[in-house]
Amino acid sequence: MIKGIRALHPAQEKQATPLLLQHLEQAVAGLEREAEQAAAREDLASVLRSRRDIALVLIGFWRGFRGDELSRLQVEHTQAQAGGRHHLLPAAQQRRPAAPRHYVPYASATEAVSGAGA
């Protein structure tokens, strides 16, 4: 009976509101300010933390990673290539084994903007 109710009245899937480009710019600018202030204090740990956070925010935005995917991203799984970076995300712990996912960048920035090559 419950299955029939669910079929007739499916629940609305919750979706997060998309991050707007202006919000991304504000977040990165704030992290840049934090890094500059930490550099002025000669606080290397805070500078590195801010730079790491900037990289994670930008990679997450550019590739559309979810939070769990960003948490699995490791520097050992990132390779710099001529066209950008290549990211390997190891499979999450699941009941069923899954293959790791590879993320390869667009060949050029114009292809990324136009959506060609995807």
Q: What is the pLDDT of residues 6-41, one digit of tens each?
A: 777 777 777 777 778 999 999 999 999 999 999 999
Residues 27 and 60 placed together within one structural domain of the fold: yes
- Type of residue found at 75: V
20: phi > 0 → left, psi -120 to 50 → alpha, else beta; which? Answer: beta
| Tens-digit pLDDT profile for residues 57-110 | 888 888 788 888 888 877 777 777 776 666 666 665 554 555 656 555 544 444
Per-residue pLDDT at 113: 40
Per-residue pLDDT at 102: 57
Q: What domain count does the chain have?
A: 2
Q: Which residues span the domain enclosing 83?
A: 69-113
Per-residue pLDDT at 91: 61
Residues 77 and 95 placed together within one structural domain of the fold: yes
